[in-house]
Structure 1
């Protein structure tokens, strides 16, 4: 088996474990916080939101730093640092005795995270260019699979073992994934060549990348995917309840609506990634953005959950073409030696969308209603598509893509 395929398989498993490990706690986090002594409902809601968001806050702040170090010392060492570090921190969450300790550990976990951008950077730089789209699609499917199955696994385990044990199991699985990366992932990285490059600051690195017009446009796609998708997700149960208020299957409907986009995303990402190797990631990206916008707006006008499920299934297909295309195109436009840094900034964009999406959606839903959030998301995705198409296809800096 070619080395790049071995790396892809091992890091797919690592991506799956990293994302599932972070999402396993979602089903029982409020219950675990209750065990730590928080019983008042308003206080419980506050602590749950703060503890859940803490991981994304520090991840947003620290990813560029880890990206800078990855470009200087290698991506594999960043994978191992993050994987082994998270395995310890997640296991320690099972020993928390109060909410402040749990919050500190969530903040620490976000600080040392970085498995996904480091593995994405390693795969992108060690995969033949003719297979980049396919590899990015496979990596995306691993991350999405973990996001979908993580809550299912965590909720299932919590029915049979104490909540603390779920943290221990998650930490152990992250440790195994890190061991596999240690022994089976091989990286082609010239440390001597990297050491000769100027040691510029994180801010200077961002300014250098910002001057390449395609890169800010690609970062905006990553942010917009998460922002538009998550702005409505916390309110989806309320939206579905409004259509099937008296249904005994309400919980099932809400679960299906929440997961069906991820399933179609997971299926479509490798297929669209391989297609992008044939027709170009630029084409897949703008078409996927347009499709996501078109399938978002009609969700505001559905009259039953089956219509909503169909629209969200097709929306997931289009979303499946976005992040793999972004990662492939970043590899194309990133200057040599700045790959990890750029993927770190891209992950910060994703974390920022994760934070601002739910907050913004919850705040403005009272002004424009939940259906209005679908329309707003569609409009923002359409604007983003125009920016991307103009930047990638019309920019004077990329003559071969002029139209």
Structure 2
């Protein structure tokens, strides 16, 4: 048996994981062969890792408030405050540790980071399932924010094993994995939580640990040693990692992503209370609408991103996604009945075209040794949105309803989100989606 089969952390590029372009003497480029079975298996593992991570997070979402409340003897007001604190701490951990984890994967490879995250997340859920006091539960949430920071490494892994022209489709598949967790997680968590509020934590722990054990056998390393870069705190801190995005089109795309992530916070923070206030929806109706959003995320990300990008290109696909998202948010805000709100969901989910296209363009403009730092920087943008978005949209909603409202328009938060996407659209139209020439040279060179 070969050394690469015995040692997954090989020193030479794995032929199952790389698809180099062959450059002839007259500079003619021979396209790489179709993806080998080994590479597809590794990519499938990353897909399921992301899906299981999101499934686990979704499973604990319906029961975490109840568990917090149980520690506070039914004090709902204090429980709501603690839940907000838990969410803020999670976002802070993502913001600070995503670039660190991404840079570590650039230094030591993707495989150890992904596997350690799986095992760390599993042990963390065991801690939260066992937690005898609120302080232990809070500690578990802090750790989960750290261990969930492996998502950028999963994205970097996909960039490593996917040719440039197929990266948007690969990122779209990971978006579909998010959708699967978004749909199935809360539903499964609600069923298990009715049995015992701690049961979803035990199941989430089991899923993460089993997936980690499976990865020990099937997941090879994707980053060759010659494409690794030294770890640097200057690049690993959030500000340093974001400096990677400060040049030209990369800065423009970073602005598009940040505006899109902030707009998305309107869904996470006022969607439920808005539907209850304006349409008097039951919990069942809200759950079905959220599940519908997840289903369209799966359809767009898993089935449609690839052919649309192949037909229109990444920049145009990103623009179409922004237009659809802005229209969907506008329909949410203008709808006086639930019907138009429901019809807005397919348009809103066209943002599933924008995310992978933007990430793919950024990936093209980044060297193989910086993919982890790049994905960490992108996740830091999500962290920034998670820190400032909730306050913005909850404040806007509070000032658009009630006797003391500044403007009596309940849909103002969604109009604000639509305006953010329109600004992002104007920026996106100026984006250059051509790969950086020096990165072409790096990718083609055997060194």
Per the alignment, residue 267 of structure 1 pairs with: 299
Match for 1:173 among 207, 231, 234? 207
Shift, 1:267, TM fit: 0.6
Aligned in 2, Cα 1:250/1:165: closer, same or farther, shift over 3 Å?
A: closer
The TM-score normalised by the length of structure 2 is 0.81
CA deviation map 1:11-59 (0-9, x unaligned): 1111111111112111111211122234222111101221233222211
Shift, 1:207, TM fit: 6.1
CA deviation map 1:77-112 (0-9, x unaligned): 110121111110111101112222211111122123
Per the alignment, residue 341 of structure 1 pairs with: 373
SS at match of 1:370: coil
Partners of 2:335 and 2:242 in 1: how far apart? 44
Aligned in 2, Cα 1:164/1:90: closer, same or farther, shift over 3 Å?
A: same
Partners of 1:326 and 1:38 in 2: how far apart? 46
Match for 2:95 among 35, 60, 73? 60
Per the alignment, residue 197 of structure 2 pairs with: 163
Deviates more, 1:287-296 or 1:375-384: 287-296
Per the alignment, residue 123 of structure 1 pairs with: 158
Shift, 1:397, TM fit: 9.6
Aligned in 2, Cα 1:60/1:396: closer, same or farther, shift over 3 Å?
A: closer
Partners of 1:25 and 1:196 in 2: how far apart? 37
CA deviation map 1:281-316 (0-9, x unaligned): 111111111221122113222121121011122211
CA deviation map 1:371-401 (0-9, x unaligned): 1111111111010111122133699999xxx
SS at match of 1:331: helix
Aligned in 2, Cα 1:243/1:43: closer, same or farther, shift over 3 Å?
A: closer
1:69 aligns with 2:104: yes
Aligned in 2, Cα 1:197/1:252: closer, same or farther, shift over 3 Å?
A: closer
Per the alignment, residue 348 of structure 2 pairs with: 315
1:89 touches 1:109 (CA, 8 Å); kept in 2?
A: yes
Match for 1:378 among 415, 418, 422? 418
**Structure 1 unaligned runs (5+)?**
399-403
Deviates more, 1:387-396 or 1:259-268: 387-396
2:322 touches 2:424 (CA, 8 Å); kept in 1?
A: yes
Aligned in 2, Cα 1:196/1:175: closer, same or farther, shift over 3 Å?
A: closer
Match for 1:359 among 391, 400, 411? 391
1:20 aligns with 2:19: no
Per the alignment, residue 319 of structure 2 pairs with: 286
Per the alignment, residue 309 of structure 2 pairs with: 276
Partners of 2:230 and 2:355 in 1: how far apart? 32
Q: Going by fraction, where is helix more abundant, 1 or 2?
A: 1
Alignment of 1:8-157 (within 5 A): 8-157=43-192
Shift, 1:263, TM fit: 1.5
Partners of 2:329 and 2:385 in 1: how far apart? 17
Per the alignment, residue 7 of structure 2 pairs with: none
1:327 aligns with 2:359: yes
SS at match of 1:187: coil
1:20 touches 1:146 (CA, 8 Å); kept in 2?
A: yes
2:90 touches 2:145 (CA, 8 Å); kept in 1?
A: yes
CA deviation map 1:209-249 (0-9, x unaligned): 1332222333333333332122244333333234444xxx6
Partners of 1:43 and 1:237 in 2: how far apart? 20
1:11 touches 1:181 (CA, 8 Å); kept in 2?
A: no
Partners of 1:198 and 1:253 in 2: how far apart? 49
2:361 touches 2:435 (CA, 8 Å); kept in 1?
A: no
- Supply the RMSD in Å over aligned alpha carbons: 2.5
Per the alignment, residue 401 of structure 1 pairs with: none
Which entry has the higher C-alpha Rg, 1 or 2?
2
1:217 aligns with 2:217: no
Number of equivalences:
393
